[in-house]
Amino acid sequence: MTSSNKNEKTITVPHEVLAKLPTSYLNPQCVQVGKEILVCGGSDNNQCYSFHTVKNAYKEICAYPKSVKLKRHVVVKYINQSGDVMLLSFGGLHRHTLQMRYRSVWKEEEEEEEEEEKEKEKINEWIPCPCTIGKPGDNMFDARGVIGGSKNHLLFVLHQPNQMVVFDLSDSVKYVTKGDLPTTSIMSGCCFVRTRPCEMALLSNTEVLLIKFDERTCSFQFDSCAMHPLVRYTFNYAYIYVKDLLVLFGGFDSFYLNKVRVYSLKKRACEELTFKLPTSLDSSFAIINDDNTCVHLIGGFNGVERSTQHYRIRLFHVVPIEKLFVFSYKNAKTEIEVTLLMQSWLRSIKMHRFGWIKEFDAMIAQFLSTLGLFFSFLEGLYTKIKYTAQPHTQHIGTTNVIQAAHVFVAIILHFFFCICDKSIPDARACPTSITLIINVYVILLHDKYLFKKFRMVTNRQSKAL
């Protein structure tokens, strides 16, 4: 049985077909470690591989112990106190709890010494975990797990019928607390993501549940709303979270689906995109790469057989560009990362086709520096001013100033690009590039943190020219 839209003409999402998986995977579990995507087993498949996103190739890591039978298990990644990359595997139809200290299999230097060290320290090998996740009688089939907490030290485990369990990963895996969710509609293949350090979102069959965890009191708070009809009773889709958007790929709802749907947690609305996946995908895995520019779709079931396909899709094909800039900059931690993100996004949106030249970077940097001083002045001035409007006294805050300046910024940027167009030989800024840049910088003005980072990087680039 294939997609229900078989007889309709469909537009396939622009995508790249990458190197095939070494073996077929159903319900694979994947984590991202730098330029690597680790594929840590799948249903009835104990093999683990590392995919290098630059080399477009796989290398074997290891295999689960033969005594472990995988069926819809969970794998999460965290960093321990020593700075090591740790993998934690648990749950599934046949419960298990294993851990691995991972080191890249792509380092070719000193391989012999590393092999000896691996034997001593048990690197890249699944070993039993001191703490068991899931008690006898717990239904850990198709459980879900995310890393969160103020220091990324907490593991939140969700399992049927409506249980949430919290573990502390600071020193070793230690039980913290558990709670009952106000829903009984958790079924196979639901979506469970972290939205903030101690906040999560769950898309079950009939409702959307927003979860908050208080680290101080170890208590939960919940907020729910009805599930959108486009997603209701859809199972086994792959998903990613970007800003406040959940992007859902494929799934099953009595048909194997090739649809791409975008659900907004903020607006509580869902949209089905006009284009489709290159094939129906059920029980696949979606994961974002290290520079937040692409999503990888790995394995799954295409309606006929288990898949060995690996697709890469540019995020801007499925997520509005303005949300991607905010998402990318907020996830960057250093100047170098921000610079690479800027370069990557310029390549992704193919700005050079619009006549983009390097001198634009210097002029934009200079313009933003001046504009930044202007807004700093307004911020300092207006946050201290009060005006009386009967019958209340109100403050003019930074948000009011920025919102009032939107039109001003758009006009200034428009004239700025017009001047660039006339002052630089062979330089042309078409309306498309003008509109895009206006949108980007108005968004940056909304967020002082992003604006500060962007000015820092563009100033460095202007000095380098």
Lookup: tokens for 135: 């008690």
The reported pLDDT for the residue numbered 126 is 97
Say if residues 396 and 382 touch (Cβ distance below 8 Å).
yes
pLDDT tens digits for range 62-116: 999 999 999 999 999 999 988 999 999 999 988 999 999 999 999 864 455 555 5
The reported pLDDT for the residue numbered 165 is 96
Domain final residue pick, 250, 285, 319: 319
Domain final residue pick, 286, 319, 352: 319
Give 249's strand partners: 238, 260
The reported pLDDT for the residue numbered 202 is 94
Lowest mean pLDDT among 27-36, 55-64, 429-438: 429-438
The reported pLDDT for the residue numbered 233 is 84
| Inside any domain, residue 119 | yes
Angle at CA 205, nearest 5°, toward 199 and 206?
85
pLDDT band at 244 (very low <50, low <70, confident <90, very high): confident
Residues 176 and 296 in one domain: yes
Alpha-carbon span 304 to 269, nearest angstrom: 32
Residues 252 and 347 in one domain: no
Asked whether the predicted pLDDT for residue 322 surpasses 80, the reply is no
Lowest mean pLDDT among 96-110, 156-170, 234-248, 391-405: 391-405
Residues 150 and 228 in one domain: yes
The reported pLDDT for the residue numbered 112 is 52
The reported pLDDT for the residue numbered 455 is 53
| Inside any domain, residue 324 | no
Lookup: tokens for 12: 């396939």
Per DSSP, the three-state class of 337 is helix
| Inside any domain, residue 325 | no
The reported pLDDT for the residue numbered 403 is 45
C-alpha separations of 122 from 102, 103, 139, 170, 358 in Å: 9, 11, 30, 20, 49
Say if residues 89 and 126 touch (Cβ distance below 8 Å).
yes
Task: Name the residue with tokens 């030989």.
Answer: 425
The reported pLDDT for the residue numbered 230 is 87
Kind of pairing between the strands at 16-17 and 285-288: unpaired
Per DSSP, the three-state class of 237 is coil
The amino acid at residue 347 is R
| Inside any domain, residue 3 | no
The residue that leads in pLDDT, 443 or 30, is 30
The reported pLDDT for the residue numbered 189 is 76
pLDDT band at 421 (very low <50, low <70, confident <90, very high): very low
pLDDT tens digits for range 277-301: 999 999 999 999 988 889 999 999 9
Sequence-distant (≥ 6) Cβ neighbours of residue 309 within 8 angstroms: 17, 20, 21, 279, 297, 299, 300, 302
pLDDT > 70: percent of the chain: 63
Q: Report the pLDDT averaged over residues 457-465.
A: 50
Lowest mean pLDDT among 274-278, 290-294, 359-363: 359-363
The reported pLDDT for the residue numbered 321 is 56
Q: Which of 186-190, 302-306, 331-335 has the highest average model confidence (pLDDT)?
A: 302-306
Domain at 151, CATH number:
2.120.10.80
Say if residues 174 and 153 touch (Cβ distance below 8 Å).
no
Whether omega before 161 lies within 30 degrees of 0, making that bond cis, reads: yes
Count of domains observed in the chain: 2
223: left (phi over 0), alpha (psi -120 to 50) or beta: beta
| Inside any domain, residue 243 | yes
C-alpha separations of 434 from 325, 344, 419, 429, 430 in Å: 16, 19, 12, 6, 6
Residues 340 and 403 in one domain: yes
The residue that leads in pLDDT, 404 or 412, is 412
Say if residues 299 and 307 touch (Cβ distance below 8 Å).
yes
| Inside any domain, residue 183 | yes
Say if residues 52 and 36 touch (Cβ distance below 8 Å).
yes
Output the average pLDDT for the chain.
Answer: 77
Alpha-carbon span 442 to 342, nearest angstrom: 16
Residues 341 and 312 in one domain: no
Rounded to 10 deg, the angle between the 448-464 and 431-446 helix axes is 130
What's the gap between Cα 341 and its chain centre? 15
Secondary structure element (H or E) that encloses residue 313, with its range: strand 310-314
| Inside any domain, residue 4 | no
Lookup: tokens for 204: 């079950």
Asked whether the predicted pLDDT for residue 199 surpasses 80, the reply is yes
The amino acid at residue 360 is F
pLDDT > 90: percent of the chain: 46
What burial letters (b/e) apply to 200-229, b meaning 16+ CB within 10 Å?
bbbbbbeebbebebebeeeebeeebeebbe
Q: What is the DSSP string of 392-451?
A: EEEE--HHHHHHHTHHHHHHHHHHHHHHHHHHSTT----HHHHHHHHHHHHHHHH-HHHH
Asked whether the predicted pLDDT for residue 400 surpasses 50, the reply is no
pLDDT tens digits for range 336-355: 444 445 555 555 544 444 45
Sequence-distant (≥ 6) Cβ neighbours of residue 278 within 8 angstroms: 12, 13, 15, 17, 258, 311
Residues 277 and 379 in one domain: no
| Inside any domain, residue 1 | no
Lookup: tokens for 261: 């749907």
Domain final residue pick, 266, 287, 319: 319
Lookup: tokens for 203: 């898309």
3-state DSSP helix/strand/coil % of the chain, to nearest 5 = 25, 35, 40
Residues 306 and 405 in one domain: no
Alpha-carbon span 35 to 28, nearest angstrom: 19
Q: Report the pLDDT averaged over residues 218-230.
A: 91
Structural domain of 185: 11-319
Q: Report the pLDDT averaged over residues 187-204.
A: 90
Q: Which of 213-227, 383-397, 429-443, 451-465 has the highest average model confidence (pLDDT)?
A: 213-227
The residue that leads in pLDDT, 196 or 426, is 196
Whether omega before 391 lies within 30 degrees of 0, making that bond cis, reads: yes
The residue that leads in pLDDT, 459 or 251, is 251
Residues 298 and 224 in one domain: yes
